[in-house]
Amino acid sequence: MSQEKSKDMRKVALTSLSGTSIEWYDFFLYGTAAAVIFPQAFFPQDLPTMVVLIASFSTFAVGFLARPLGGVIFGHFGDRVGRKKTLVVALMMMGVATTLIGFLPTYQSIGVLAPLMLVVLRFVQGLAIGGQWGGAMLLVTENAPKDQRGWYGAYAQAGAPVGVILANLAFLGVSAGMSEADFMDWGWRLPFIASFVLILISMYVQLKLEDTPAFKALAAHQAPKEAVQQTVVKSPVIEVLRRYPKRIVLAAGAFLSIQVTFYILIAFVVAYGVNSPTVTLSRDMMLTAVLVAAAIMVPSQFYFSGLSDRLGRKTVYRWGAILTGLWGFALFPLIDTGQPVLICFAVTMGLVFLGMQYGPQAAFFTELFSTEVRYSGASLGYQLGAIVGGALAPTIAVLLWNNFGIFWVSVYIALAAILTLMSLSQLTETQGSDLMT
pLDDT in tens, 376-415: 888 889 888 888 888 788 889 989 998 999 999 999 999 9
pLDDT at 218: 46
Contacts of 349 (CB under 8 A, 6+ apart): 327, 330
Closest among 375, 389, 290 to 331, alpha carbons compared: 290
Name the band, by pLDDT with cuts 50, 70 and 90, for residue 231. Answer: very low
Per-residue model confidence as pLDDT tens digits over 113-168: 988 998 999 899 888 888 878 777 887 888 888 888 999 999 989 988 998 888 88
Of 201 and 407, the structure prediction assigns the larger pLDDT to 407
Q: Indicate whether 124 belongs to any domain.
A: yes
Q: Among 57-71, 225-239, 308-322, whose mean pLDDT is lowest?
A: 225-239
- Highest-scoring range by mean pLDDT, 19-28, 60-69, 205-214, 422-431: 422-431
Q: Please indicate, yes or no, whether the overall pTM of this predicted structure exceeds 0.75.
A: yes
Q: Indicate whether 433 belongs to any domain.
A: no
Q: Is 45 exposed, middle or buried (0-12, 13-18, 19+ CB in 10 A)?
A: exposed
CA–CA–CA angle 354, 359, 360 (5° rounding): 115
pLDDT at 206: 62
Contacts of 200 (CB under 8 A, 6+ apart): 95
Name the band, by pLDDT with cuts 50, 70 and 90, for residue 228. Answer: very low
Domain hosting 82: range is: 3-425
Q: How many domains does the chain have?
A: 1
3-state per-residue secondary structure call for 362-394: HHHHHHCCCHHHHHHHHHHHHHHHHHHHCCCHH
Of 50 and 328, the structure prediction assigns the larger pLDDT to 328
Q: Indicate whether 137 belongs to any domain.
A: yes
pLDDT at 211: 39
Per-residue model confidence as pLDDT tens digits over 265-294: 988 898 898 888 888 888 888 989 999 999
Q: Indicate whether 435 belongs to any domain.
A: no
Q: Indicate whether 369 belongs to any domain.
A: yes
Taking the C-alpha atoms of residue 377 and residue 103, their distance in angstroms, rounded to an integer, is 36
Q: Indicate whether 246 belongs to any domain.
A: yes
Taking the C-alpha atoms of residue 46 and residue 189, their distance in angstroms, rounded to an integer, is 23
Q: At 95, which CATH number?
A: 1.20.1250.20
Of 196 and 321, the structure prediction assigns the larger pLDDT to 321
Quick one: average pLDDT of 230-244? 72
DSSP string, 309-343: HHH-HHHHHHHHHHHHHHHHHHHHHHHTT--HHHH
Per-residue model confidence as pLDDT tens digits over 127-136: 888 887 877 7
Task: Report the mean per-residue pLDDT for the chain.
Answer: 84
Q: Indicate whether 69 belongs to any domain.
A: yes
pLDDT at 223: 57
Q: Indicate whether 437 belongs to any domain.
A: no
